[in-house]
Amino acid sequence: MNMGRRFVFVMAFCLLLSRLSSSQSDDISCSQAIPLLFPCRLYLIGSADISSDCCVAVNTVNQLANTTEIRRNLCACFKSVANIIGVVPEKSRQLPQLCNISLSFPIDPSLDCNS
C-alpha cells in the first residue's frame, strides 16, 4: 500500500476510534493527534531526518495529553497507526531525545498502554 493510501486509511481508522471513545471537548483524540503528528511520518518510517516541525508537533500532542486516560487512549492509537504505516520502533524511541522533550508517555509500538 503506498504512503498516500496508508495515510487515508489511518485517518479513517482514527475517525472510527474517536467515535467509539467518549471524551470531553478539551481532550485530544486519536483523530486530532494523528494529523498533528503528520510532520513526523517520514522520520518514523525511516525515510528522512527529524524536522523541527515534527518536534513542535510532538510537543503539542504531549502538552494536550494531560490525563492518564488521554495518554492511554493516544498510546493505543499510536500503536495501531505505527503497525499500519510501518513505524521503525527505534525511530519512535529516539523521538523524545532528538526533540529534547520529556514525554508524559513513550511512543513505542511494543509498549503496554495499560502500564
**Buried-exposed string 31-53: b where 16+ CB fall within 10 A, e elsewhere:** bbbbeebebbbebbbeeeebeee
Q: What is the pLDDT of residue 25?
A: 46
Torsion angle (degrees, nearest 10) of CA 32, 36, 38, 43:
-130
More confident residue, 104 or 76: 76
Tallying the residues shown for the chain, one arrives at: 115
Rounded-to-integer distance, Cα 23 and Cα 65, Å: 12
Superfamily of domain 3-20+31-99: Plant lipid-transfer and hydrophobic proteins (1.10.110.10)
pLDDT tens readout for residues 3-53: 666 665 555 555 444 444 444 446 799 999 999 999 999 999 999 999 999
Cell output for 47: 525515510
Structural domain spans, the chain: 3-20+31-99
Mean per-residue pLDDT of the chain:
83
